Amino acid sequence: MTIDDFRNMPVYANNMRVLKEQLTDLNESMAGSDQGEKSLLHDAQRKQIQAIQNQYEKAYMRYVDMSAKAESWMSENCPDLITETIIRYHFLLGYSWEETAECVSNGVKSYTADACRKIIHRLFRK
């Protein structure tokens, strides 16, 4: 995996979130619609819901696949647990560098955002 692959992980997660919100909105609008409305409208909504559901499932499977590749890559290439943790928090979970540093430090200010960034950049320069 490359650093760009890791940078795309939050994008995949965000795509899933957006699709899930669209599904929720469509399901709610369909459930709240008048029973007297034509079934043709419901059929169109069902088709739209099914299309979004298919997109969501594809996005979910892509995210699961990328997560598995990331975990495998980390187990083979990360020199220590701190580096794995930084990658996990920043790239896989989408935390900012500051939030990542706080999580890695467990409340102790032993790692700064810049220190975390440098660890990752050194890893990918190899």
Higher pLDDT residue, 60 or 29?
A: 60
Buried b (16+ CB within 10 A) or exposed e, 34-53: eeeeeeeeeeebeeeeeebe
DSSP state of 59: H
Average model confidence (pLDDT) across the chain: 87
Distance separating alpha carbons of residues 25 and 29, to the nearest angstrom: 6
Residue 106 has pLDDT above 90, yes or no: no
Instruction: Flag whether the pTM goes above 0.85.
Output: no
Residue 99 has pLDDT above 90, yes or no: yes
Of the pLDDT bands very low, low, confident and very high (cuts 50, 70, 90), residue 95 is very high
Average pLDDT for 32-53:
73
Distance separating alpha carbons of residues 58 and 47, to the nearest angstrom: 17
Token pair 């990918």: residue: 124
Q: What is the CA radius of gyration of the chain?
A: 20
| pLDDT score recorded for residue 46 | 83
Residue 38 has pLDDT above 60, yes or no: no
Count of beta carbons in the 10 Å neighbourhood of residue 121? 10
Higher pLDDT residue, 76 or 41?
A: 76
